[in-house]
Amino acid sequence: MSWMHIFFALVLLPAIGVGMIRILRGPTAADRMMTAQLFGTCGVAILLLLSAGMGNPVLLDIALVFSLLAALATMTFIRRTWRGSGKKKHEYPLQ
Amino acid sequence: MNILYNSGTVLIILGLPFFLSGTVGLIRFPDIYTRLHALTKADNVGLGCIVCGLALQSGSWAVTAKLLLIWLLVLIASSASCHLIARSAMHKNIQPWTRS
Amino acid sequence: MSYSILTCFDILLILTLLWLGWRLLSTEDIFKAVVLFISFGLLMALAWVRMRAPDVALAEAALGAGLTGPLFLAALRRMKRIHKGERRLDSDENRGEDHEADPEQTQAA
């Protein structure tokens, strides 16, 4: 166990906690989804630091899954939720 | 070995302010485009610094390759979703913020 | 030294999780609740890691970020359509029935 890496992870955790304000306050839906993306990136960084700090290389695999699936929620949001319901304003394909 | 470890520590410390500034930008910036700018760029640079620092400290090629793969995946995911969000915001006629 | 910092990390993580869960349950906007749920899943994976259960954390990351979040978002779109009017719902249901009827016919044949 190295306390230094765990301390760095502890520094990164408030970055997640403060970002939650934007979920609660965000004017558009995309702002809220962007915050989820911030959580993904910060979560990967915290997992990498914890993996070095706790001496457990298995956590790298969890970070790999996190980064692999990070874009999935955002893309579903853009394609399914945020686009207007059925009205097509532009001709060139959005997806 | 010790030089590698210490330079890795310096790189990790260098990466932390990028994350914090990304969060501050997400809270403070006035517009969806500026928020996207702060979020994706600053966070990915911070993650890159941390990944490079940890790779210097790890001392094994397999762990280094896995770390770089994680960073590459995060880069692809975040740039793709940033582009998607910005383009559909333009389609929804959300005007960029101007100082006025 | 290391253990006291770990304890600080755990306490901060637990407080964040509790606040997140409370906001998630008390909010009235459904979309906000869905985004809060996705964030809750990510933080819960970190909590599983701290409880020394990396396998559960792996499952939580894959299910919470990859499966449940997109499913909720797709369901939200479907709910908005249903709220919008009966005609839309009818056409959707017809299309769904046609879609489901196809494999049965091919199986019967």
Give pLDDT, residue A84.
57
Contact indicator for B23, A11 with CB cutoff of 8 Å: no
The DSSP string of C18-79 is HHHHHHHHH---HHHHHHHHHHHHHHHHHHHHHTT-HHHHHHHHIIIIIIIHHHHHHHHHHH
Please give the residue range of the domain that contains residue C50.
2-108
A67–chain B Cβ distance below 8 A for any pair? yes
List the structure tokens of C54.
Answer: 């990396």
Separation between Cα atoms, residue C56 and residue C34, nearest integer Å: 22
- A29 within some domain: yes
> What secondary structure, in 3-state letters, does B46-89 show?
HHHHHHHHHHHHHCCHHHHHHHHHHHHHHHHHHHHHHHHHHHHH
Give pLDDT, residue A86.
46
Each residue's pLDDT tens digit, A45-92: 999 999 998 888 899 999 999 888 878 888 888 887 777 544 445 544
Give pLDDT, residue B2.
86
Q: Which residues of chain C have pLDDT under 50?
A: 86-109
Contact indicator for C47, C18 with CB cutoff of 8 Å: no
Please give the residue range of the domain that contains residue A51.
3-81
Q: Between chains, do C73 and A80 touch, taking CB under 8 Å as contact?
A: yes
Total structural domains within chain C? 1
- A64 within some domain: yes
Q: Which chains contact A through at least 3 pairs of Cβ atoms less than 8 Å apart? A: B, C
The alpha-carbon gap from A52 to the nearest alpha carbon of chain B, in Å, equals 8
Separation between Cα atoms, residue C42 and residue B85, nearest integer Å: 21
Rounded to the nearest angstrom, the gap between the alpha carbon of residue C25 and the centroid of all alpha carbons in its chain is: 14
Q: Is there an interface between C and B (3+ Cβ pairs < 8 A)?
A: no
**Which chain B residues are closer than 8 Å to A40 by Cβ?**
74, 77
Q: Which of A6-15, A25-34, C48-57 has the lowest mean pLDDT?
A: A25-34
**Which chain A residues are closer than 8 Å to C46 by Cβ?**
43, 46-47, 50
Q: For chain B, what are the domain ranges? A: 2-91
A77–chain C Cβ distance below 8 A for any pair? yes
Tell me what ipTM this predicted complex has. Answer: 0.89
Separation between Cα atoms, residue C98 and residue B91, nearest integer Å: 32
Of B69, B11, B85, C13, the closest CA to residue A36 belongs to: B85
Spell out the per-residue pLDDT of chain B, length 100, in tens.
688 889 999 999 999 999 999 999 998 888 888 899 888 889 999 999 999 999 999 888 999 999 999 999 999 999 999 999 888 888 887 788 887 6
Give pLDDT, residue C84.
67
Give pLDDT, residue C85.
58
For B53, the closest chain A residue by CA position comes to A49
A93–chain B Cβ distance below 8 A for any pair? no
For B21, the closest chain A residue by CA position comes to A15
Give pLDDT, residue B1.
64
Q: How far is CA B76 from CA A79, B13, B40, C53, C69, in A?
A: 18, 24, 11, 29, 20
Contact indicator for C12, A14 with CB cutoff of 8 Å: yes
- A25 within some domain: yes
A43–chain C Cβ distance below 8 A for any pair? yes
Which 42-61 residues of chain A touch chain B by CB within 8 A? Answer: 42, 44-45, 48-49, 52, 57, 60
